[in-house]
Amino acid sequence: MIAIVQEIATSVGYLERPAVGLQLLVVALPLLVGSGIRRWQGIATPMGRWRRPIGLGVALLGLLALKLAGIPHGFGVFLLLLVMGWEALNPLDRLLARCMPPEPRAQLMSSLIRPLYLLAAAGALLDQLQNVRDLALLPLTLLGNTLTVGQLFLAVLLVYLVLVGSGPPAAGLAWLARRTLGLTQSSQRAMALIFRYTVVGLGLLLVFSNLGLNATAVVAVAGGLSVGLGFGIKEIFSNFVSGLWLLFEGSVRPGEVLMVDGDPCEVRSLGLRAAVLWRDRDNAELVIPNQTFFTESTVTYTRSDRLRRSELMVGAAYRHNPEQVIPLLEAAAREVEGVLPEPPPRAFLVGYGDSAINYSLRFWIANPMRNVSVRDGVGRAIWTTFASHGIEIPFPQRVLHHPATESGSGGA
């Protein structure tokens, strides 16, 4: 490894050549100055958005001047092309924005496209200064195996591509599976994760077998790891295995709604270590280790279907006939948006309270996350209906028995 670094480091020897220095100056100076034009004395300059094109244009003119003067300028042209290629990624980003949602697009750009461009640029630059094919043949020893720098580089690149780039193909396969097999959306997401893990696993196996890694050495490393697993990283491993099990079992999948500390939360993602859940009431995201779901009981509203039965308690004054109140309650609930017609809302007399007869109005909603808003709607509908039919919701009441009044003698 030191030999490789030394080989590459000798490239600084080119800097003592005046032509190379001139080219660097001609390309770097306008771009650096242009980058600084954004603000002048703390105020954004009108030509701020043109700073980069101006810088590139000046650099181009500088290279033209070198050409006319008969000075070597190809390296400057190469550097300028690299910079222009980088700038061209911005329009590509805008193009992708037309057909991709923001989050996957941002991840694609930041995890795949830009890093790949930087890698290709670094490789091209190295090839200008050295002979990349020769560097790729330099030998390395890894876990008792002799391989070349080129092989190791390709292996690392493949692993990275598999880890980062396996998402979209896995999502596509899962979408296809959903269309052909009629899966639910949460099953599709689970399947996408499973596909992804499978692709990553197969990719890693392929890379290791191509590298020809010594199986004995790998087993030795794994043996050492197992001790670590027993002590330091057992939680991590436990979470990883829990996550896999949950995926296969299907009990906790993206899209599911679980009750966490009394709040309905939607599972957004199931990762290698933890699941991310979204809590509606305060827009919080909860990161819960996978093994929590594995070892504790979980309340879910979406295991078999997404229906949730909600309930509202209301009291009506004793003087109102329950046969009149109950139909009014059911009718009020039926009118509210979000309340399902089937199963129909049902109201029940559930008790004789101190101040009123207690009724329970039970109704079904389609989205468990909307419970609060639908209950609010039902509550208001009840008030309106009661008000229009003269049904009283009494305040807490006390009946005072005055001894003098009860015995018939006069008195207040």
Partner 1 sequence: MLSALLALAAILLTGCGRPPVAEQEPAGVLFVYVALPGWQIQQPDNLDAVIEDLDLLRQPFRELHPAVRIQFIPFAEDQLIQQVRRRNWEGLGPDLLLVTDRMARDLRRLDLSRPATAPAELVSQLDPLALRQLRAPDGQLAGLPVFLQTEQACFNRSLLPESPANLKALLQTSAAGLPVGLSLVPQDLAWLLGGFGADGAIAAAARGEVPSRQGRAALVQMLQWLADANLQERVLLFTAKEPMLKRFASGELAWIPCRSDNLTLLRRSLGDDLGVAALPRGPGGEASPINTLRVWAFGRNSSARQQRTAERWASFSISPVVQRRLTLQTTGNLPVNLQLPVPVESSATLRTLEATRQQAGLGPQAEALFRIDNERLAHLRRVINDVTYETVAPEAGADQLLEALIAGAREAQR
* Nearest distance from C-beta of residue 1 to partner 1, angstroms: 16
Number of other CB atoms surrounding residue 34 within 10 Å: 21
* Nearest distance from C-beta of residue 76 to partner 1, angstroms: 8
Name the pairing type of β-strands 145-148 and 284-289: unpaired
Q: Which is nearer to partner 1, 12 or 400 (CB)?
A: 12
Provide CB contacts within 8 A for 324, sequence distance 6+. 389, 391
**Segment holding 118, helix H or strand E:** helix 114-129
* Nearest distance from C-beta of residue 75 to partner 1, angstroms: 4
CA angle, corner 392, sides to 360 and 355, nearest 5? 65
CA distances to 92, 187, 189 from 195, rounded to whole Å, are 28, 12, 10
Token pair belonging to 264: 């309905």
According to DSSP, residue 264 is labeled E
* Nearest distance from C-beta of residue 2 to partner 1, angstroms: 15
* Nearest distance from C-beta of residue 80 to partner 1, angstroms: 12
d(CA 250, CA 298): 13
* Nearest distance from C-beta of residue 11 to partner 1, angstroms: 8
**Cα dihedral 6→8→9→15 (10° resolution):** 150
Q: Which is nearer to partner 1, 1 or 366 (CB)?
A: 1
SS3 149: helix
* Nearest distance from C-beta of residue 93 to partner 1, angstroms: 24
CA distances to 59, 65, 202, 371 from 68, rounded to whole Å, are 14, 5, 55, 75
Concatenating the DSSP letter of every residue in 165-187 gives HTHHHHHHHHHHHHHHHT--HHH
Q: Which is nearer to partner 1, 19 or 177 (CB)?
A: 19
Burial of 365 (0-12, 13-18, 19+ CB in 10 A): buried
User: Residues 114-119: contacts with CB within 8 Å, 24+ apart?
Assistant: 114/89, 115/160, 117/85, 117/86, 117/89, 119/157
Q: Which is nearer to partner 1, 14 or 153 (CB)?
A: 14
End-to-end CA distance of the chain: 105
> Which parts of this chain interact with partner 1 (CB under 8 A)?
7, 10, 12-21, 23-25, 28-29, 32-33, 35-36, 71-75, 77-78, 128-131, 133-134, 137-139, 148
* Nearest distance from C-beta of residue 51 to partner 1, angstroms: 11
Token pair belonging to 50: 């043109």
Q: Which is nearer to partner 1, 75 or 364 (CB)?
A: 75
Q: Which is nearer to partner 1, 151 or 187 (CB)?
A: 151
Look at residues 324, 345, 313, 310 and name the one whose alpha carbon lies nearest to residue 389: 324
* Nearest distance from C-beta of residue 52 to partner 1, angstroms: 13
Q: Which is nearer to partner 1, 27 or 277 (CB)?
A: 27
Look at residues 192, 294, 185, 282 and name the one whose alpha carbon lies nearest to residue 249: 294
* Nearest distance from C-beta of residue 301 to partner 1, angstroms: 55
